Every structure is written in C-alpha cells, then in structure tokens.
Amino acid sequence: MTKLFLLEESVDNLKFEEFQEGLDDIILIKKEENDIFYKNNNINQLENYSELYQNHSQENQFRAKFLEQINISNSNPKSIEELKMVFPDTPIGFMGINFPQLEIDKNLCVENDDRFKEFKKYHLILLNHSNLFFLKEICFSNIIFCDNSEEQLKSFGNGKYFHQCVEQLSILNEYLQNWSEGNFNYQNLNDSTEITLSPESKTTMNKHFDKRVFSLPNGGTDIFELHIKLRDIRIHILEDNVSKKIMVGYIGRHLPI
C-alpha cells in the first residue's frame, strides 16, 4: 500500500494551462487497488481549482471530478517528516505538479506515472530484511506471501540469499504487471525474463508432493509445484489466474526429491 498526498505548494501559483497539463499527468498515474491518494480541503480554495468549475469544458469537468474523488485529510503536511507523522506505518510520498522549488527529497515526489514507477523502484533499493513487512506491498504488489514464506525470506538477514531472492521476486513482480489476460504461462516467463521457473518431475511429485503443500492466505492449502531455481535456494509459487497474482508458499533449501 502506498499513500500519496497532494501537496498544495506544488499545484499553487501555476498558469491555468500548466495546472491543467500537470493534473492530466497525475490522472494518468496507474495505481494499484490498495494505493490511496489524499488531499487537504485547502486545495479547494486555490484559484486554479475554482477555474475548473468556471470553465465548463468536458475536460475540466473530468479534472474536477478526479480532484473531488481524492480522499480528504484534516492534516496538511508540508514536509516528509510531517507526512510520516500522518501516515507512520506505510510507504508515503507527495503527489503534485511543480516540485523543483521545494526542498523535498525528489525520490518521494510523484508528478506522473513514470515518476510513480521510479518512486516504487526507489523503495526496492531501500528494502532489507527488517523492513520487508513495511515495504512488501509497494515492492511486490503482485505477489502474495503465504504460509511462512515471508519469515523464511527475512531469516536470510541481509545476506546474499536475501538479495538474490528479492532480485528474482522483483523481476517476477514486474512481469506480472503485464499479465492481464489468460492463464499464467511459466514458459513465457522463462523466455522473457532472467528467471528459471519449472515444475517438479513426476517422480518427485509422486514421492513428495505433500512437502510442497502450503497454506493459502484465505484458508485451506494447495500444492505449490512451480519453483524458481537459485542455486541452493528454491522459491515455490502458485498462480492465481483470477486475480492475476502469484502466491509464494516456500522460500528455502531444496525440498526433498
């Protein structure tokens, strides 16, 4: 989950045309279902905001409706420190149009969809075993950690296994962003990425399928046969062809064969 706050100073004192163009870029940001945008009601008092309603073009009506639908906060943070006080337990940033004149970490400023992608990549750089729980939803928005897989990943500390797994999971997550139709195809994943994903042999499944059964997030269990190969480490996964997400059931040493 990511929370972006529309910074008043970044949309104030702009020419109306600049305000319109910048707002169009913000509207095109592709957010995940659990990403949330916020604003303070002071935005409604800006001259450019009022101009949207005075100029009744179809485009301006759409822009005004977008601003109306942004969640309202009673807070009005002006810095990252203040924003962290408002949302202390989730990845945060500012959303806006004109940031150059403001003394705010530009890695945490989002003006358009490209910057939103960079914003998420920045958090991937910050990821370590101690903040995995805090950052997993922004870094791996298309991946669900099941059973004990999150704790298994954290157990590697900040050693090579942790970073190797994070690299593979980030590649997988990026691949999944383009999965919108049909069933998951692991061969296509192998052909188009640096991941090596494969099912188990029939012999292994006949003898040890039960070692590949892991808990699902909403109850019950299933067989996580497909696995990413990382030398000594395996990441066992299961596709969800409805939600278009991947579930991770196990991260650790090679299971019995």
CA 160 to chain centre: 23
What CA dihedral angle connects 235, 233, 166 and 128, to 10 degrees? 120
pLDDT at 33: 81
CB 204 within 8 A of CB 257: yes
Length of the chain in terms of residues written: 257
Q: Tens digits of per-residue pLDDT, 61-83?
A: 999 999 999 999 999 999 999 99
Q: Tens digits of per-residue pLDDT, 8-59?
A: 999 988 999 999 999 999 999 998 888 999 999 888 889 998 898 887 799 9
Instruction: Give the CA angle between residues 251, 253, 254 to the nearest 5°.
Output: 105
Q: Which amino acid is at 54?
A: Q
Indicate the pTM of the whole model.
0.78
Helices (H) and strands (E) in the chain, counts: 11, 12
Report d(CA 16, CA 49) in Å as an integer.
9
